[in-house]
């Protein structure tokens, strides 16, 4: 029996908590402690709605904390995106992985890998030929072991 399960609507507060764990570890010092979680209450209804869509383009896989009922130890989330096709992806399906997070005291147990494997299978079942993610230096060995490779990325961002 797998430790990994698909996140449910009831998991939404814990999913947000683990997303904050990821944000804090990747962007340390970017937010003040007081402002770091203010967005959670605004985000919660949207996250609950997305988790309630069984056939939607968003999914999260989690591992429960066995010693703390109702708490999560690890999270991986992903979306299925459409982009106009091209030669190596004529149907334009692209997966995107984000919010890979494990509580600090639950790390090095294979939880993130197990969640990633479930998410990658979810993408395969939907005919996704490409999966993208942004890797921290600490997580890059995990992703490389799963077959991810660095790519030249001309990405730019506009923030309103």
Task: Note the pLDDT of residue 82.
Answer: 94
Question: What distance lies between CA 94 and its chain's CA centroid?
Answer: 15
* Alpha-carbon distances, residue 70 vs 7, 14, 66, 67, 92 (angstroms): 12, 8, 9, 10, 37
Task: Note the pLDDT of residue 69.
Answer: 87
Q: Tens-digit pLDDT profile for the chain (160 aa)?
A: 579 999 999 999 999 999 999 998 887 655 555 567 789 999 999 999 999 999 999 999 999 998 898 999 999 999 999 999 999 999 999 999 999 999 999 999 999 999 999 999 999 999 999 999 988 888 899 999 999 998 887 776 666 7
Q: Where are the domains positioned within the chain?
A: 4-145
Task: Note the pLDDT of residue 67.
Answer: 87
Task: Note the pLDDT of residue 138.
Answer: 85
Task: Note the pLDDT of residue 35.
Answer: 63
Task: Note the pLDDT of residue 120.
Answer: 97
The CATH class of 4-145 is alpha beta
């Amino acid at each position: 029996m797998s430790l990994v399960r698909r996140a449910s609507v009831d998991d939404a507060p814990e999913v947000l908590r683990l997303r904050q764990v990821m944000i804090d570890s990747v962007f340390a010092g970017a937010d003040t402690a007081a402002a770091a979680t203010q967005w959670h209450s605004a985000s919660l209804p949207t996250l609950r709605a997305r988790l309630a869509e069984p056939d939607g383009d968003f999914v999260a896989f989690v591992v429960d904390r066995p010693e703390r009922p109702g708490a999560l130890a690890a999270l991986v989330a992903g979306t299925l995106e459409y982009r106009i096709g091209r030669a190596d992806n004529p149907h334009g399906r692209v997966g995107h992985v984000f919010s890979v997070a494990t509580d600090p005291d639950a790390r090095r147990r294979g939880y993130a890998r197990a969640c990633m494997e479930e998410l990658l299978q979810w993408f395969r079942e939907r005919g996704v030929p490409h999966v993208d993610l942004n890797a921290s230096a600490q997580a890059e060995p995990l992703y490389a072991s799963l077959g991810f490779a660095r790519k030249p990325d001309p990405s730019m961002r506009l923030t309103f």
